[in-house]
Amino acid sequence: MKPLVGISCCTKSFGPYAMTNHAASDTYVCAVDQVVGAVPVLLPANGDAADIDTLLARLDGIILTGSRSNVQPGLYGGPPHAEGTPEDARRDAVTLRLIRAAVAAGVPVLAICRGMQELNVALGGSLHQRLQDLPGRIDHSTPLHPDARVRIGKAHSVRIVPGGWLQRVARADDIGVNSLHNQGIDRLAPGLLTEATAPDGTIEAVRLPGSRALTVGVQWHPEYDFLSDAVSRGIFAEFGAVVRGRIGSVMLAAD
């Protein structure tokens, strides 16, 4: 029996009548199918109606996805967003509770882009809203270009902290990553450790040491190039090994 991995959704308006839908990119589903070796389960952004305990009783891992929307600043004591900045309050109401409960229950978490920002906020950290407005920071947002190779290609390098989870996966001290975000970690949440940084000092990967299960986050998007990039594939493979190991332990305990 394969494990079940939950993939967080956003609320998005689709179709001629702009009806609200719950959506996650196919790239996450493909990564779970092809590398993690689990059954992907889309988790709706249904706000306070989400039954977190029931979800975690059935799920063997959580992937927190990227998104154009930003975490609401009131959740980390930040100033209001600039007018027109997309938010998704119903997603926030699910993911932040889900993160805290998953950590407590020992359910593995892989947090990607917005997901890493959610992980930091859920555990007590704060965010910069626009990195490109800060002195000495580079613009981490993706160019609006029709060529996917430009949009999701390697944008800058990251320096990996020696001896950590990411160095074990990457087997390198520096790697190239794509970059599709405006927000980034400001105050690192208590308990989180930095696993990698960009040349301008922006935190690009984190880990929660001492947690009951693997709890990690990356600021870039490994789901875009896991078929061609060994590090991206390795991130999902490592997560998959932990998820499959967990379900094996649960089945042995049941016997």
Catalytic residue numbers, as ranges: 113, 221, 223
CB 180 within 8 A of CB 203: no
Instruction: State the residue for tokens 């609006």.
Output: 144
CB 113 within 8 A of CB 71: no
The amino acid at residue 38 is A
Distances (CA, A) of 144 to 52, 148, 149, 150, 180: 36, 10, 12, 9, 10
Enumerate residues 6+ apart whose C-beta is below 8 A from 47. Answer: 89, 90, 93, 94
The amino acid at residue 194 is T
